């Protein structure tokens, strides 16, 4: 049995950074990873998908070139092999960079293999027992495959396996109209596939407010994506074209099917029972406000704790645990203001509460909206789709939440995120003087609309 000061299971977006901080303090740590260093973000999530989104946008902008006075001789064609290779290279650079960095850290032993708890202070990997008084779980999540009729009779893709595709699907059906599904839907449409999004619920991106979902659907439909919402009875069968998807009242014949119906935590094969670590009914590890589990000496960080599903939330989990354990600080997850982006183009940048959440919080709220068509930068680029809105507390003047669905919405939202983190009242920002012509320049005007 090998003894360490700390064991990390999963090299996602939290573990490696905390392992490095502990090693800097002279501790001996084991970093166990069963597949690739960097986890989902680097290998099957943010990095490859945003690289693909960049290629898809290049195709979109090229096709629109003539509208901006740029002539391209012949048709714009997409070379899927180059597109795939570029995304793969970005992943490999990040993965290798992480491996090189971890390899230089004294005190960090990287162990490749699947880890399982034997007891609260022991795990088994590759038949060897490793022990430590502190164990950090950063095991992430994986795609959920819903139990739909016929699904096991067809060849379907997930958000991971689609990254290996180097040919263009003739017709891609995307099952699930949420964040991951919508990003792939638009990207493949721009690459040149026919795309149908099939969503069981009444609207796409259903966690967002209705006006946002509606605008997203309009953006996708304007690019020729067929969006079928309210598809409550989805069934699959092999068809002449690949797969026949029955929606009850209609059929869709697709050459490829991407299943993007959510993710579940990698906690079912971790032997959590052996350690006594409690999970919720969906398998997320229960943690307190400092990310400690119910078992002293075991923490859970990143997607597996159900407190965030993003790279930045996982990284912030590292920052919270490091601050508390190593720097004598007192940081809590509940202080974190939720923020994220949906990377369709134009993107949606989001901060804090939705309008629906704010309305049901029993506060007196104010809402202000402005169309992207009023933004100089958007007009100049001729990309005026979308809108921005902000929600505030009428009594305290706190900014409760905001959404920017429009070009550079993922960047411009940071003005609001920073203001919310600083506790700035909207009345203090209404008269700030922004730079022209930017997307952010409409934010003071938007805030003045709160009255």
* Contact set with ligand FAD (CB under 6 A): 9-14, 32-36, 39-41, 44-46, 49-50, 114-115, 138-141, 159, 180, 266, 270, 302-304, 309-312, 314, 343
Angle 169-243-88 from CA coordinates, rounded to 5°? 35
User: For residue 178, which of 154, 155, 203 has the smallest C-alpha distance?
Assistant: 203
Is 171 annotated in the active site?
A: no
Neighbour count for residue 412 (Cβ, 10 Å): 24
Separation of alpha carbons 81 and 88, rounded Å: 10
Kindly state the smallest distance separating residue 152's Cβ from ligand FAD, in Å: 22
* Closer of 173 and 344 to ligand FAD (Cβ): 344
Kindly state the smallest distance separating residue 275's Cβ from ligand FAD, in Å: 12
**What's the number of CA atoms in the CB half-sphere (13 Å) around residue 178?**
12
Q: What are 380's two structure tokens? A: 């100049």
- 3-state percent breakdown (helix, strand, coil) of the chain, nearest 5: 35, 25, 40
Kindly state the smallest distance separating residue 39's Cβ from ligand FAD, in Å: 2
* Closer of 95 and 385 to ligand FAD (Cβ): 95
Kindly state the smallest distance separating residue 122's Cβ from ligand FAD, in Å: 14
Catalytic residue among 88, 114, 414, 436: 436
Q: Which residue is nearest to ligand FAD (CB)?
A: 140
User: For residue 77, which of 192, 223, 225, 194 has the smallest C-alpha distance?
Assistant: 192
Separation of alpha carbons 158 and 261, rounded Å: 9
* Closer of 138 and 243 to ligand FAD (Cβ): 138
| Cβ(57)–Cβ(189) below 8 Å | no
Helix (H, G, I), strand (E, B) or coil at 355: helix
* Closer of 140 and 352 to ligand FAD (Cβ): 140
Separation of alpha carbons 404 and 443, rounded Å: 10
Give me the residues paired with residue 124 across strands: 116, 129
Kindly state the smallest distance separating residue 265's Cβ from ligand FAD, in Å: 9
Kindly state the smallest distance separating residue 151's Cβ from ligand FAD, in Å: 19
Please list the alpha-helical segments (H only) found in 162-291: 179-191, 210-222, 272-275
* Closer of 7 and 399 to ligand FAD (Cβ): 7
CA 222 from chain centre, in angstroms, equals: 24
* Closer of 33 and 345 to ligand FAD (Cβ): 33
Active site residues: 436
């Amino acid at each position: 049995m090998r003894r360490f000061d700390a064991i990390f299971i999963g090299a996602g977006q939290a573990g490696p950074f905390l392992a490095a901080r502990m090693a800097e303090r002279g501790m001996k740590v084991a970093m166990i990873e069963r597949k690739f260093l960097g986890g989902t973000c680097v290998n099957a999530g943010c990095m490859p998908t945003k690289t693909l989104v960049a290629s898809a946008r290049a195709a979109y902008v090229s096709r629109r070139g003539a509208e901006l006075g740029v002539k391209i001789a012949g048709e714009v064609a997409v070379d899927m092999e180059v597109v795939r290779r570029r995304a793969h290279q970005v992943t490999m650079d990040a993965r290798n960079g992480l491996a090189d960095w971890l390899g230089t850290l004294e005190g960090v032993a990287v162990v490749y293999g699947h880890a399982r708890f034997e007891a609260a202070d022991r795990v088994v990997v590759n038949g060897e027992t490793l022990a430590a008084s502190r164990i950090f779980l950063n095991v992430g999540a994986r795609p959920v495959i819903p139990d739909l009729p016929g699904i096991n009779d067809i060849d379907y893709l997930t958000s991971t396996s689609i990254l290996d595709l180097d040919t263009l699907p003739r017709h891609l059906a995307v099952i699930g109209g949420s964040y991951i599904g919508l990003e792939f839907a638009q990207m493949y449409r721009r690459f040149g596939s026919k795309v149908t999004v099939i969503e069981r619920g009444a609207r796409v991106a259903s966690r967002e407010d209705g006006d946002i979902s509606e605008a997203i659907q309009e953006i996708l439909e304007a690019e020729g994506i067929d969006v079928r919402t309210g598809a409550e009875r989805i069934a699959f069968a092999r068809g002449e074209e690949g797969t026949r998807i029955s929606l009850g009242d209609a059929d869709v014949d697709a050459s490829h099917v991407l299943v993007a119906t959510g993710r579940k935590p990698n906690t079912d094969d971790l032997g959590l029972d052996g350690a006594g670590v409690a999970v919720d009914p969906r398998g997320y590890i229960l943690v307190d406000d400092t990310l400690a589990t119910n078992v002293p000496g075991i923490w859970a960080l990143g997607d597996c704790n159900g407190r965030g599903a993003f790279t930045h939330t996982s990284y912030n989990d590292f920052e919270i645990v490091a601050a508390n354990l190593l720097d004598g600080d007192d940081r809590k997850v509940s202080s974190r203001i939720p923020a994220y982006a949906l990377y369709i183009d134009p993107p949606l940048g989001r901060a804090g509460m939705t309008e629906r959440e704010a309305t049901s919080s029993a506060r007196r709220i104010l809402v202000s909206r402005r169309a992207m068509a009023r933004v100089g930068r958007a007009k100049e680029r001729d990309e005026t789709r979308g809108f921005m809105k902000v929600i505030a507390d009428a009594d305290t003047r706190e900014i409760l939440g905001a959404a920017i669905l429009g070009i550079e919405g993922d960047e411009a939202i940071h003005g609001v995120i920073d203001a919310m983190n600083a506790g700035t009242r909207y009345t203090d920002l209404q008269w700030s003087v922004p730079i022209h012509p930017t997307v952010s320049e409409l934010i003071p005007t938007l805030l003045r609309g709160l009255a």
